[in-house]
Amino acid sequence: MGILINKSENIFSLQSKNTSYVFGVDSEGLLRNLYWGSKIQDIEDFDMPILTEVSTNDPVYEITREEYPVYGSLRYKEHCLKVTFSDKSRELVYKYSGYDINDDELIIKLKDSYYDFNINLHYKVYEQYDLIERYVSIKNNSNDIIEIEKIHSGQFHIPYEGLNFSNVHGHWGAEQQRFIQKVNYGKIVIENRRGISTHNHNPYFILDKDATETTGEVFFGALKLSGNFSGIIEQTQYGETLVQMGINSHDFLMELKPKEEFVTPAIIAGYSNSGFEIMTHNLHNFAKDNILRKGLRPVLYNSWEATEFKVSCDEQIKLAEKAKEIGAELFVVDDGWFGERHGIDNGLGDWYVNRDKFPDGLDPLIKKVKDMDMMFGIWVEPEMVNPLSQLYKEHPEWIYHFETRESDTSRGQYVLNVTKKEVKEFIYNMLDNLLSTYDIDYIKWDANRPMSQTDIEKDIWYKHIEAIYDIVRELKIKHPNVLFEACASGGGRIDYGILGIFDDFWTSDNTDAYDRLFIQDSYSYIYPIKAMRAWVTDCPNFLSKRVIPMKFRYHSAMMGTLGVGCNILKFNEDEIKLSQELIKEYKEIRHIIQEGDFYRIENTSKNNYSIYQYNKDGESLLFVFLPQSLIGHRGTNIKLRGLENNSKYIIRINGEELIKSGDYLMNRGLEIKLSGDYASDIIKINKI
């Protein structure tokens, strides 16, 4: 079992395959972290150090490495929980009151010393993946309301200073740009305050001690929450670094009613002593095995860039026929099929088929798509409404608003208050009716603006995304074969909270194949390749104005779940033939890409190669990109990863076949040289 307990000392050890996470209860009843790192088998080795004050200005509460610090007493550090009781007391004083074990989950029970208020810390061990899951449940056993002002899901202690913190920054069209920041004195805060999504930061932390892909210590955690999150990273004055993550306390207040319980979103966390690669594999494998829907993702064609809002049945049928010709398996009609939707200013909320565009409804198009043995998908933006829509005219009270203020429009739309029972039911019923009426296999769910004027209830920021989760969960129960894609004006909703509720992530509206190499690289550190939608689109690219050869565009998009968004009606014979060849190739190798192990390979050349590897059951792929050949036009030496030392492998490259041993390929490596600008290649390596 992954949970060890020294009952006489009240010390607990969470044991995974290669790691240990240890904490215990001290003589004051405080829960203190003792260790997080490589596996230590014997729990008897741990004892509870006695803490002494540095001075009266450095009290014990400040120095104590508390598992879950609360507001009150001589604590001036970051706290995870702050409440106000009915008598207006704002101090928590917790005492340890025991533990429970349910299978592979440990529950530490804390109780306030005066009020009838329980705090339960939950720890679930995933031994095989070297991961632990942490969350907190709080329960109001009193007869009065307790106000929750702040609640984070957990705090982690790392016994080092001078660590490197990495996350992503960005904005629309430039999401998932990885940055590395040295942790020093002061606090690093990452957060979202927009409610709907954020393109700026992502709800995870990576802290490393000068790690590389394959060496060094890495501590990491990903929060299972879409919407308003916060993460705090702080190097303390006492020789350690701490991390907290949870619901953002910005404009947040939640009433915990009598006998009511609240459960926080969880954090999936882990440790690697062998660099970022192990972190990535553990998270990817956990997601593929435990979160994501089983089965390979289909090759998608989306009509947006071909038609934008000028949707018509005849034009969509022509696109579907051409999509089938090049090898697509799923045809998706994007925005513009419903209501008076001729641009961004109208239609949202009026989810009926536009009869001018589809005189006989969607059935003729869907029948044509199905007759060609393709799946059918459709775009929706259910959380939004346009002021000009019929829905808004009938229900102006359904949006987030203040009675005395004019509500903001952004992209010509309001945000519906999904926390209202009637609004939530409207969205569910609308989608259920759509899925029940038509033979739809795929829903692309978009959200194109942040929230504002969120009314008087300050827990709406959190309840909004919970309502969205609920709607999709219920729809998938009734329509279990429908795939859902999370899109938020691009890559705003990429997180472990929505992963598994939705099946695909739209990674970015930026479909430039060169830019996508950076976006996809950053994404890969935490999130599984199987959920990463990537499209081939037309050139010049609408955003970068860059012209990139089609082969490079396909290879870049083939690194994830392949989609095509070009106006394929304008393809010439060569473009159709190349598309057919590359889509056929993708179908032959996608099981390796979507379900295999992913490696970011070091480039040893002065030329700016980008190199990635995928392994699955003796099959390997190398994706090699050279966006621009620099002076010297050098090749690169590629040392492969994850092969078997004593096995032989056949390498197919440049129309030739080589046979090499696994230890040769991993230690000596392959000499690869690409020529020209926007050169790319996929090299296949198979165990003999």
pLDDT tens, residue by residue, 366-425: 999 999 999 999 999 999 999 999 999 999 999 999 999 999 999 999 999 999 999 999
Name every residue whose Cβ is closer than 8 Å to that of residue 588 and which is 6 or more positions away in sequence: none
C-beta separation of 43 from 13 below 8 A: yes
Mean pLDDT of 618-637: 93
Spatial separation of the C-alpha atoms in residues 332 and 320, rounded to whole Å? 9
Mean pLDDT of 240-269: 97
Nearest residue to 356 via CA among 343, 369, 342:
342
Strands (E), 468-609: 483-486, 504-506, 532-536, 561-564, 597-601
**Model pLDDT, residue 186:** 92
C-beta separation of 133 from 284 below 8 A: no
Spatial separation of the C-alpha atoms in residues 274 and 208, rounded to whole Å? 11
Spell out a b/e string for 156-189, using b for 16 or more CB atoms within 10 Å of the CB, else e.
bbbeeeebbbbbbbbebbbbbbbeeeebeeeebe
**Model pLDDT, residue 1:** 64
Spatial separation of the C-alpha atoms in residues 62 and 610, rounded to whole Å? 46
pLDDT at 78 over 80: yes
Place of tokens 């660590």: 163
Residue 630: pLDDT band (50, 70, 90) is confident
Provide DSSP, 252-279: --EEE-TT-EEEPPPEEEEEESB-HHHH
C-beta separation of 256 from 145 below 8 A: yes
Nearest residue to 565 via CA among 391, 343, 304:
304
Strands (E), 94-145: 94-102, 105-112, 117-126, 131-140
Spatial separation of the C-alpha atoms in residues 107 and 105, rounded to whole Å? 7
Q: Give the pTM.
A: 0.96
Q: Which of 503, 509, 515, 538 is catalytic?
A: 509
Spatial separation of the C-alpha atoms in residues 534 and 552, rounded to whole Å? 13
Name every residue whose Cβ is closer than 8 Å to that of residue 509 and which is 6 or more positions away in sequence: 172, 173, 489, 490, 491, 543
Joined together, the tokens standing for residue 176 give 């998932």
Peptide bond into 298 cis (omega under 30): no
Q: Active-site residue 446, yes or no?
A: yes
Q: Active-site residue 509, yes or no?
A: yes
Joined together, the tokens standing for residue 318 give 């022509």
Spell out a b/e string for 415-435, using b for 16 or more CB atoms within 10 Å of the CB, else e.
bbbbbbeebbebbbebbeebb
Q: Give per-residue pLDDT as tens, 124-157.
A: 999 999 999 999 999 999 999 999 999 999 999 9
Residue 437, phi then psi, degrees to nearest 5 = -80, -40
pLDDT at 654 over 90: no
Q: Which of 208, 441, 446, 538 is catalytic?
A: 446
Joined together, the tokens standing for residue 142 give 């009193």
Residue 455: pLDDT band (50, 70, 90) is confident
Place of tokens 């394929």: 568
CA end-to-end span of the chain: 38
Name every residue whose Cβ is closer than 8 Å to that of residue 135 and which is 6 or more positions away in sequence: 122, 153, 154, 263, 264, 265, 266, 267
Structural domains in the chain?
A: 3-290 (2.70.98.60), 300-403+422-595 (3.20.20.70), 599-687 (2.60.40.1180)
Mean pLDDT of 521-541: 97
Residue 216 φ/ψ region, left for φ over 0, alpha for ψ in the -120 to 50 degree band, beta for the rest: left
Mean pLDDT taken over the chain: 96
